[in-house]
Amino acid sequence: MSLVTRDVEILSDRFTPGFVLRGPVGGGEAMVLRSPWDGVELARVPTTTADDLDMVLDKARLAFESFRWTPAWRRAQILERASRLIEENAEQIARLIANESGKPLKDARIEASRGASTFRWAAEESKRTAGEIIEMDAEASGEHRFGWTIREPRGVIAAISPFNFPLNLAAHKVAPALAAANVVVLKPASQTPLTALRLAELLVEAGLPAHVIQVVVGPGSTLGAKLVKDERVNMVTFTGSPPVGRQIASDAGMKMVTLELGNNSATIVDEDAHLDLAVQRIVAGGYANSGQVCISVQRVVVHQKVYDEFMARLVPAVEALKLGDPLDESTDVSSLISAAEAERVRLWVEEAIEQGATLAVGGVDDDGRMRPTVLTDVTRDMKVCAREIFGPVLSILKARDLCEAVEISNDSDMGLQAGVFTKDLNKALYAAKRLEVGGVMINEVPTFRVDHMPYGGIKGSGIGREGLRFAIREMTEMKMVAIREMDWQTGGPPVDACAREPLGP
Ligand code: NAD
């Protein structure tokens, strides 16, 4: 049996003209991909069967045996070329993202540009994977020994990515894995395989040898689970929802696992905050990609003294956002990934209102689409606060002071990032120390990220860090090497090479 790939059948003219795409590995039944915005058929994508996956993993192991010895300069060159190719194809990639995920085109363009930057950083970091010198003689028994660590690739890395950043979240797994000389089997979300397939094509064009990256397409519950459990896989790097993350942690056995999961991100607006800046950033961070970002602003905790003033600025700014077709240049917010997700968000909002929340702006439009929404009079136990909403809905809470605001923010079983708006340095430092999250953004929303910074959560938000340098640490094994300094003739302690006398005490 040999590996089969069939081209993706493009069914719509919404992509760039003449667009063709090589398929995933596998001859399984094709699935039809539809636009989340209006249900139009976009493409027919072949899927990967269990037998196909078996062959993929054999090829991956074989590819690792040679790719692991690829010198750093060569890996850097391939990654740098990949970055350039993403830049050159940015518009085509942005349209792929917008079509398959429903992300507004202007956000999709930002994602394409960040994807290029992630690969550029990986190229840089691939030259800096060295270990460290260990002071062996810090312990008496370590005298006359010289020691250092080296970082070796883990092997075959299963990269499982979500639908909401089809390029850049795949890039955050693939780029550091390759930088550290691993090979990758990438399983994108079933809703968004096209961008991942295009990325793999560009990597091959950039010079990556055969089978160093392979893309498999199929359901997470079967294909994804099989990949996670397979003994030929050395590490699983996963971004997605908390329940699936927990399942993967239990399925993976002894493999290294990193999990980037969800959040119900809090942003604190203190009494001395720059309100215009806070409102502008909260609107950007709450509604980008229709709130389907793991670090979307979800809970806004406002000091009681500035609450009314804050709301008076927030509501018109949210009302001004335009809900529309993702391919329309002027669209700010589009549809959610599926009708089922829109229905879930609608039900959570309705339930909150039944429990006493007030709809300040938004709600469902005539076509059943979720408009940018703000809820006030919410309580912490309502689903819209306590769970990850993953939709265009902000919940506004009031706090007596910063201490209470921090306490409210920490009242969550997740902890990815948080934001604080204050002009007071002491308060900023207080919040930075007390907030229980993986990242604190001062005078910024939790949604802020540059691609080389360490990024990841605590509590239910996950295990491990992404961001190129930090991901490379997770994707390499540390090996300790120690050399005994000795006299070659006697086998005893070293002697001064000139005087042939014992060295030092
Ligand atoms: P999801 O968990 O439904 O799916 C993510 C991926 O896991 C998909 O490729 C899916 O096919 C696969 N999968 C599903 N079940 C599996 C299983 N049993 N074994 C192996 N793989 C399986 O997530 P989604 O709906 O695509 O994305 C939304 C979620 O992702 C949100 O919770 C969001 O917060 C989270 N997210 C987190 C980050 C972060 O960096 N922390 C970034 C983006 C999204």
**Ligand 1 atom nearest to CA at 260:** 41
For 73-132, what is each residue's pLDDT tens digit?
999 999 999 999 999 999 999 999 999 999 999 999 999 999 999 999 999 999 999 999
pTM of the full structure: 0.96
- End-to-end CA separation in angstroms for the chain: 66
For 238-271, what is each residue's pLDDT tens digit?
999 999 999 999 999 999 999 999 999 999 999 9
Buried b (16+ CB within 10 A) or exposed e, 325-345: bbbeeebbbbbbbeeebbebb
For residue 499, the model assigns a pLDDT of 64
DSSP state, residue 495: B
List 267's β-bridge partners, or say none.
300, 419
**Ligand 1 atom nearest to CA at 461:** 41
Using the mean position of ligand 1's atoms as its centre, give its distance from the Cα of residue 305 in Å: 39
| Residue of 33, 45, 164, 167 to mutate, ligand 1, most atoms within 8 A of C-beta | 164
Asked if residue 138 has pLDDT above 80, the reply is yes
For 21-46, what is each residue's pLDDT tens digit?
988 888 889 999 999 999 999 999 99
| Residue of 241, 259, 261, 450 to mutate, ligand 1, most atoms within 8 A of C-beta | 241
**Ligand 1 atom nearest to CA at 462:** 41
**Ligand 1 atom nearest to CA at 228:** 20
Task: Provide the residue type at 162 as one letter.
Answer: P
Using the mean position of ligand 1's atoms as its centre, give its distance from the Cα of residue 149 in Å: 34
DSSP annotation string for 271-337:
TT--HHHHHHHHHHHHHGGGG-STT---EEEEEGGGHHHHHHHHHHHHHTPPB--TTSTT-SB---S
Using the mean position of ligand 1's atoms as its centre, give its distance from the Cα of residue 92 in Å: 25
Using the mean position of ligand 1's atoms as its centre, give its distance from the Cα of residue 424 in Å: 38
Residue with tokens 């990609």: 289
Nearest 5°: the CA angle 45, 188, 178 is 120
Nearest 5°: the CA angle 319, 292, 250 is 155
**Residue 92, both tokens:** 């085509």
DSSP annotation string for 184-226:
EEEE--TT-HHHHHHHHHHHHHTTPPTTSEEE--S-IIIIIHH
The residues carrying an active-site annotation are 260, 294
What is the Rg, in whole angstroms, of the alpha carbon atoms belonging to the chain? 25
Averaged pLDDT for residues 149-159? 98
For residue 233, the model assigns a pLDDT of 98
Percent of the chain with pLDDT over 70: 98
**Ligand 1 atom nearest to CA at 416:** 41
For residue 497, the model assigns a pLDDT of 67
List 396's β-bridge partners, or say none.
300
pLDDT band per the 50, 70, 90 thresholds, residue 2? low
Using the mean position of ligand 1's atoms as its centre, give its distance from the Cα of residue 192 in Å: 12
| Residue of 294, 298, 437, 453 to mutate, ligand 1, most atoms within 8 A of C-beta | 294
Using the mean position of ligand 1's atoms as its centre, give its distance from the Cα of residue 244 in Å: 7
**Ligand 1 atom nearest to CA at 457:** 41
Buried b (16+ CB within 10 A) or exposed e, 246-281: ebbbebbeebbbbbbbbbbbbbbbbbebebeebbeb
For 157-216, what is each residue's pLDDT tens digit?
999 999 999 999 999 999 999 999 999 999 999 999 999 999 999 999 999 999 999 999
Distance from C-alpha of 122 to C-alpha of 82, rounded to nearest angstrom: 10
Burial class (CB in 10 A: 0-12, 13-18, 19+), 32: exposed
Residue with CA nearest ligand 1 atom 10: 220
Which residues have C-beta atoms less than 6 Å from ligand 1? 160-164, 169, 187-190, 220-221, 224-225, 228, 239-241, 244, 247-248, 260-262, 294, 388, 390, 416, 462
Using the mean position of ligand 1's atoms as its centre, give its distance from the Cα of residue 485 in Å: 51
| Residue of 229, 261, 450, 466 to mutate, ligand 1, most atoms within 8 A of C-beta | 261
**Residue 16, both tokens:** 């760039």
